[in-house]
């Protein structure tokens, strides 16, 4: 036996002297027993090659394959580190922040062999040349052992996360041509805490984890990668790694083995190719390295149990440590007691990394659901109409906005929010606390069952720190209203108006239906928020929405309206009398008796977020609702009711060249005549006959406003839109051209707001005929009758013979002829205004403690340069709620009744109308009416003539007799609310009188004599001195005859109460300047035609008889007022 100088045990014992022996290969190396027990802790550096790390990894795998996969030796460490590097490559995307690359924890660098070697060799630095030569030499000479000959590139992992050692380069590992991956020799424990794997494993720690204990997805990828290369080819390239994989497989559970068994050559395609972030595909010897397939690979109890989502389900993670969630499966391990997710994660969902495991997978935390700021408004909350967060109203009745985020609604619906968890707890709760703080609890259900509880206290003045759970509650002031609070059903175009009146300049609303943000159709700020007043804003929405995001001064909270579901089968009929001065709507439900449009408290159309804005500080908000939108109630017990002034308020900056919306740029000003018009609005009257270019738009907007109100009423009171009927009226004196435009407006609005498929339910009726249906149905009109509807602008007449309408006429001569300004004369010269303004002013001022608003309105209207408006205001005072409430004597009608001088104006007015009708009956040889029925708001002034119907009957009869000679007594009937007759008639309208039928009855005397009709005549044919003189003469004759009815003096002075001293002067005053007045009337008509784009060859559609009388009355009133 010999002693051989060697360090391994076995082998030939016969070696003496230098003798041939076996080369030291694996067998020998295996037999070398380390006297230090292979407990070496220092990294091995004795490989005489710059690529020693590559070699060491090979040795490590080889050694581990021999001694067993589990162990604590340096080789086990190296193997574990290599696998860690592989797993980091596999998870590389998880360690990146796609939004902010500077926050990437990992960067993949590429070393291009040919290029870099060349650079080094050609470097002017000698040492670089040496490095280059050396690397090149080893790569060439050691090619066989490490597949260097097949390697073009090395991909390196550069760690850039927290605790990095160097600002730029912290290489932790790389791809290896021999063992797939290899690790750096450095102590990499500083990385451990920042790169967690899916199963909570930490790379580079002292737990050397064998492959089979690693994330199964990573394992699956490795086996798939091997198959994609081919098992044999893989084994020849990466022999030790291959053996390692084979051994590791043996330790897998049956479940995991099955997963591996199921793989085939294509399975690797389940994973996307990893890139270095640029154009380089990471590869090992040309075989692409893949990355984790993020979809559907996680199975965690924390997965959100969402209503809205089906694809990726993020985890919902608790933010408080404790044992509440400790038994839940987190990723590939349990959620630990000490775990808590960060309160806030600024990464977007897709690039988030799960805490503790470092895995890129979406998760949600408290800040995703709960805002940091909460807003409250110091007004009583309207819990009926808005969701109050399940709070106890006894603790605080302030209006709290909900500090929820958009993210919440990505996963849950509003009904989820309002609902409860399985254990009966509310999903969401607001708990006001003493001292102004509020606690909010939100429960997010998770897959496992149960929920994650997020709780946050909002403290006034709290400074927000994203690292703790601080929340701040802040007072803001704004008013908000939603109109209507109805969810629109299928096939119905939603239409909402949202009112916003904010004291903060930076206020913004967003609307969402579930998670999708709805397009805002229109948003108008008529007044910006200022120091003294709230903003006035409207949002027009044509989408159903269920969430409102309110952002005030940068703080965004949520408002949830409690929309009602519109359901019901009632049939509604509306009749809209769009009048010159006043408009009215009657409606009937299921055939019931018609009644004036109303909006009782139960049907409030614009639901306000808070109920008590009328505190001193918020009066501007309270008023703005009425000013810019709609009052809470209309009708009985309300300050507002129909009929109402035909008036439209529009934004001072409105531009009708652009798209405009009603209840946005403008609205029906319910407070008109009751209070000062707000500065942001200007008020437009005389809509019906205005010929300005924008008038059509304004009319449309006005009527649209009415439509919205009607529609909302149907929806809110159990009606069915598709059954809803709408009747509108047109004055017979309207030109056909204009009528068609008018019709278009109604049809369009009907289609949009009521029903696009039931045009047959939109009916139109002549204003002349409408009262007939009222009187016929309600007053038992006898067989021969005349109905006279006196409006603000037109008077419409229908002659009925044997219950059948036989003639119809209409003329632009109505109450505006009494109270207006003639042919554009100044209100200062208007007799009524002149005479009464001082008195009315005195009475308003004298009662200003009650009538402050009204006084303001008065002053404003007085400045408007329109006598009709002023007169309308005078008339409105008697019905003004404040006047009525305080029993203040402000009855303009009463004043007029008691004014014997002005009485002559009304005598001439009504006289001319009756006289003209009598002439028409005579000319057409129609039967003398037994009854003359008055309607229309203008006919209210019949009361000025006489409150006694009998007296008026006498007046009418005498005029008829004057014209016709013999004539039986004619009975006059009138109603208390004559305005309503048209609308009510519309409700009763049975569709029996078509437009064409009515039109066929049209007949007008030209006005120049007793017989000539307008038929076939054109304006240019009468635009001459002869015709004008004929008309003026005819009128002059009328004056003579009026004042020569039988017992004229006695009747007018005695029965009507006219001033006897003026009786003789009046006819002369009336005859003043008649030719000129006639000419002005014709000119005005021609101008109007021209404004509407018609030339003077248009057919004459009304009598010229009243042309001079318009001016005559104005002149008469002025003259009388001077007396």
- Give least dist CB 205 to other proteins, A: 18
- Give least dist CB 43 to other proteins, A: 6
Q: Which is nearer to other proteins, 41 or 532 (CB)?
A: 41
Q: Which is nearer to other proteins, 45 or 859 (CB)?
A: 45
- Give least dist CB 106 to other proteins, A: 13
- Give least dist CB 78 to other proteins, A: 10
How far apart, in whole angstroms, are the C-alpha atoms of residue 1120 and residue 834?
Answer: 11
Q: Which is nearer to other proteins, 58 or 883 (CB)?
A: 58
Q: Cα–chain-centroid distance for residue 13? A: 95
- Give least dist CB 553 to other proteins, A: 47
Q: Which is nearer to other proteins, 37 or 250 (CB)?
A: 37
Using alpha carbons, select from 1093, 1004, 1097 the residue that is nearest to residue 740. Answer: 1093
How far apart, in whole angstroms, are the C-alpha atoms of residue 1069 and residue 774?
Answer: 38
How far apart, in whole angstroms, are the C-alpha atoms of residue 733 and residue 738?
Answer: 10
Q: Which is nearer to other proteins, 28 or 347 (CB)?
A: 28
C-alpha dihedral sign at 464, 465, 467, 469: negative
Which token pair is 654?
């409105």
DSSP 1013-1059: B-TT-BHHHH-SHHHHHHHHHHHHHHHHHHTTSTTHHIIIIIIS---
- Give least dist CB 277 to other proteins, A: 14
- Report whether 456 contacts 370 (CB < 8 A): yes
Q: Which is nearer to other proteins, 21 or 516 (CB)?
A: 21
Using CA atoms, how far residue 370 sits from 226, 364, 443, 465, 687, in Å, is: 47, 11, 11, 14, 51
- Give least dist CB 280 to other proteins, A: 11
How far apart, in whole angstroms, are the C-alpha atoms of residue 335 and residue 301?
Answer: 9
Q: Which is nearer to other proteins, 158 or 405 (CB)?
A: 158
Phi, psi of 443 (to 5 degrees): -110, 120
Helix 216-229 and helix 239-250, axial crossing angle in degrees, nearest 10: 130
Determine which helix (DSSP H) or strand (DSSP E) holds 651, and give its type and residue range.
strand 648-651
Place of tokens 């002549």: 766
Phi, psi of 938 (to 5 degrees): -60, -25
How far apart, in whole angstroms, are the C-alpha atoms of residue 869 and residue 595?
Answer: 27
Q: Which is nearer to other proteins, 29 or 273 (CB)?
A: 29
Using alpha carbons, select from 240, 251, 207 the residue that is nearest to residue 63. Answer: 240
Which token pair is 363?
């998760």
Q: Cα–chain-centroid distance for residue 1071? A: 61
- Give least dist CB 528 to other proteins, A: 55
- Give least dist CB 77 to other proteins, A: 11
How far apart, in whole angstroms, are the C-alpha atoms of residue 557 and residue 292?
Answer: 37
- Give least dist CB 40 to other proteins, A: 4
Q: Which is nearer to other proteins, 46 or 657 (CB)?
A: 46
Q: Which is nearer to other proteins, 124 or 569 (CB)?
A: 124
Q: Which is nearer to other proteins, 51 or 746 (CB)?
A: 51
Q: Which is nearer to other proteins, 158 or 1121 (CB)?
A: 158
Using CA atoms, how far residue 1116 sits from 818, 830, 840, 871, 1067, in Å, is: 10, 10, 21, 16, 10
- Give least dist CB 72 to other proteins, A: 13
- Give least dist CB 18 to other proteins, A: 4
Which token pair is 395?
């603790």
Q: Which is nearer to other proteins, 43 or 603 (CB)?
A: 43
Pairing of strands 363-364, 315-316: parallel
- Give least dist CB 117 to other proteins, A: 9
- Report whether 745 contacts 697 (CB < 8 A): no
Helix 1107-1121 and helix 1074-1091, axial crossing angle in degrees, nearest 10: 120
- Report whether 570 contacts 588 (CB < 8 A): no
- Report whether 940 contacts 579 (CB < 8 A): no
Helix 949-964 and helix 903-924, axial crossing angle in degrees, nearest 10: 50
Q: Which is nearer to other proteins, 37 or 435 (CB)?
A: 37
- Report whether 539 contacts 509 (CB < 8 A): yes
- Give least dist CB 89 to other proteins, A: 14
Question: 930 preceded by cis ω (within 30°)?
Answer: no
- Give least dist CB 353 to other proteins, A: 24
How far apart, in whole angstroms, are the C-alpha atoms of residue 901 and residue 647?
Answer: 31
DSSP 685-697: --TTT--STTHHH
Q: What is the 3-state secondary structure (H, E, C) of 542-560?
A: CCCCCEEEEEECCEEEEEC
Q: Which is nearer to other proteins, 12 or 991 (CB)?
A: 12
Determine which helix (DSSP H) or strand (DSSP E) holds 115, and give its type and residue range.
helix 113-121
Place of tokens 């707000």: 678
Q: Which is nearer to other proteins, 235 or 756 (CB)?
A: 235
Q: Which is nearer to other proteins, 116 or 1009 (CB)?
A: 116
Which residues are bridge partners to 457 per DSSP? 439
- Give least dist CB 75 to other proteins, A: 8
Determine which helix (DSSP H) or strand (DSSP E) holds 497, and give its type and residue range.
strand 496-502
- Give least dist CB 156 to other proteins, A: 5
Question: 780 preceded by cis ω (within 30°)?
Answer: no
- Give least dist CB 282 to other proteins, A: 14
Using alpha carbons, select from 445, 439, 454 the residue that is nearest to residue 416. Answer: 445
């Amino acid at each position: 036996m010999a002693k051989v100088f060697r360090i391994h045990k076995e082998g030939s014992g016969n070696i003496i002297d230098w003798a041939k022996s076996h080369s030291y290969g694996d067998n020998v190396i295996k037999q070398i027993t380390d006297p230090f027990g292979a407990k070496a802790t220092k990294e091995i550096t004795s490989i005489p090659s710059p690529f020693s790390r590559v070699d060491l990894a090979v040795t490590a795998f080889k050694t581990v394959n021999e001694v067993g996969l589990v162990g604590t030796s340096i080789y086990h460490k190296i193997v574990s580190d290599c696998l860690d590097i592989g797993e980091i490559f596999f998870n590389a995307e998880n360690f990146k922040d796609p939004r902010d690359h500077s926050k990437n924890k990992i960067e993949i660098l590429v070393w291009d062999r040919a290029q870099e070697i060349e650079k080094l060799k050609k470097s002017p630095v000698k040492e670089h040349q040496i490095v280059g030569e050396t690397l090149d030499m080893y790569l060439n000479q050691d090619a066989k052992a490490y597949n260097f000959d097949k390697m073009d590139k090395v991909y390196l992992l550069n760690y850039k996360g927290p605790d990095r050692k160097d600002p730029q380069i912290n290489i932790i590992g790389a791809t290896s041509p021999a063992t797939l991956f290899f690790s750096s020799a450095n102590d990499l424990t500083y990385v451990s805490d920042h790169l967690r794997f899916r199963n909570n494993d930490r790379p580079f720690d002292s737990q050397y984890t064998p492959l089979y204990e690693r994330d199964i997805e990573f394992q699956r990828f490795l086996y798939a990668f091997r198959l994609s290369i081919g098992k044999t080819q893989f084994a020849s390239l990466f022999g030790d790694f291959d053996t390692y994989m084979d051994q590791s497989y043996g330790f897998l559970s049956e479940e995991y083995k099955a997963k591996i068994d199921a793989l085939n050559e294509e399975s690797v395609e389940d994973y996307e190719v990893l890139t270095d972030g640029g154009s380089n595909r990471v590869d090992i010897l040309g075989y692409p390295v893949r990355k984790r397939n993020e979809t559907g690979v996680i199975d965690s109890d924390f997965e959100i149990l969402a209503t809205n989502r089906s694809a990726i389900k993020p985890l919902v993670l608790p933010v408080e440590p404790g044992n509440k969630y400790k038994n839940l499966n987190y990723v590939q391990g349990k959620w630990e007691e000490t775990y808590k997710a960060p309160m806030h994660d600024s990464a977007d969902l897709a690039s988030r990394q799960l805490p503790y495991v470092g895995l890129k997978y979406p998760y949600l935390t408290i800040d995703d659901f709960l805002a940091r700021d909460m807003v409250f408004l110091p007004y009583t909350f309207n819990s009926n109409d808005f969701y109050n967060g399940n709070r106890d109203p006894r603790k605080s009745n302030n209006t709290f906005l909900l500090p929820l985020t958009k993210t919440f609604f990505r996963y849950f619906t509003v009904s989820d929010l309002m609902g409860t968890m399985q254990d009966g707890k509310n999903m969401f709760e607001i708990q006001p606390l003493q001292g102004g703080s509020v606690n909010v609890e939100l429960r997010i259900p998770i897959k496992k069952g149960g929920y994650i509880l997020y709780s946050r206290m909002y403290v006034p003045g709290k400074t927000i720190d994203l690292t703790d759970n601080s929340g701040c509650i802040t007072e803001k002031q704004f008013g908000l209203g939603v109109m209507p609070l109805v969810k629109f059903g299928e096939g119905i175009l939603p239409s909402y108006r949202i009112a916003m009146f904010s004291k903060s300049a930076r206020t913004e609303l967003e609307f969402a239906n579930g998670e999708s943000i709805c397009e805002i159709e229109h948003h108008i700020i008529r007044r910006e928020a200022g120091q003294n007043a709230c903003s006035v804003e409207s949002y027009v929405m044509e989408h159903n929405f269920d969430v409102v995001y309110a952002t005030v001064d940068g703080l965004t909270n949520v408002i949830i309206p409690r929309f009602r579901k519109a359901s019901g089968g009632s049939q509604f009929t509306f009749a809209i009398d769009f009048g010159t001065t006043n408009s009215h709507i009657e409606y009937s439900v299921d055939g019931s008796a018609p009644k004036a449009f109303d909006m009782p408290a139960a049907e409030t159309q614009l639901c306000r977020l808070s109920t008590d804005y009328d505190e001193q500080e918020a009066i501007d908000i309270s008023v703005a609702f009425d000013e810019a939108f709609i009052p809470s109630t209309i009708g009985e017990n309300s300050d507002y009711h129909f009929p109402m002034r035909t008036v439209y308020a529009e934004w001072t900056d409105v531009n009708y060249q652009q798209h405009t919306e009603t209840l946005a740029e403008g609205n029906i000003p319910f407070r008109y005549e009751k209070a000062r018009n707000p500065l942001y609005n200007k008020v437009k009257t005389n809509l019906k006959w205005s010929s300005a270019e924008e008038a059509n738009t304004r009319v449309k907007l006005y009527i649209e406003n009415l439509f919205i109100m009607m529609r909302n009423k149907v929806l809110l009171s159990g009606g069915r839109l598709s059954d809803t009927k709408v009747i509108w009226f047109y004055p017979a004196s309207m030109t056909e051209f204009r009528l068609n435009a008018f019709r278009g407006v109604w049809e369009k609005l009907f289609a949009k707001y009521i029903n696009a498929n039931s045009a047959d339910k939109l009916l139109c009726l002549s204003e002349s005929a409408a009262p007939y249906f009222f009187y016929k149905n309600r007053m038992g009109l006898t067989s021969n009758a005349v109905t006279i509807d006196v409006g603000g602008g037109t008077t419409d007449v229908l002659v009925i013979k044997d219950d059948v309408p036989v003639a119809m006429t209409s003329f632009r001569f109505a109450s505006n002829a009494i109270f207006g300004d003639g042919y554009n004369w100044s209100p200062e010269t208007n007799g009524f205004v002149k005479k009464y303004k001082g008195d009315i002013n005195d009475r308003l001022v004298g009662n200003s403690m009650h009538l402050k608003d009204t006084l303001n309105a008065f002053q404003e209207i007085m400045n408007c340069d329109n006598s009709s408006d002023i007169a309308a205001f005078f008339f409105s005072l008697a019905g003004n709620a404040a006047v009525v409430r305080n029993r203040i004597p402000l009855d303009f009608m009463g004043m007029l009744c008691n004014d014997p001088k002005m009485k002559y104006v009304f005598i001439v007015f009504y006289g001319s109308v009756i006289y003209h009708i009598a002439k028409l009956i005579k000319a057409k040889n129609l039967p003398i009416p037994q009854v003359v029925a008055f309607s229309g708001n203008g006919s209210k002034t019949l009361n000025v003539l006489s409150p006694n119907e009998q007296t008026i009957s006498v007046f009418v009869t005498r005029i008829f007799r004057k014209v016709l000679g013999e004539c039986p007594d004619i009975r006059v009937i009138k109603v208390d609310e004559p305005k309503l007759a048209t609308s009510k008639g519309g409700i009763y309208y049975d569709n029996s009188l078509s437009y064409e039928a009515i039109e066929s009855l049209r007949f007008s005397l030209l006005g120049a004599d007793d017989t000539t009709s307008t038929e076939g005549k054109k304006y240019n044919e009468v635009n001459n001195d002869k015709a004008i003189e004929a008309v003026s003469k005819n009128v002059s004759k009328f004056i003579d005859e009026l004042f020569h009815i039988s017992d004229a003096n006695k009747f007018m002075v005695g029965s009507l109460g006219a001033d006897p001293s003026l009786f003789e002067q009046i006819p002369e005053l009336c005859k003043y300047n008649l030719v000129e007045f006639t000419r002005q009337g014709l000119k005005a008509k021609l101008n109007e035609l021209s404004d509407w784009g018609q030339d003077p060859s248009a057919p004459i559609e009304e009598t010229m008889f009243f042309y001079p009388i318009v001016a005559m009355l104005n002149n008469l009133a002025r003259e009388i007022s001077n007396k």
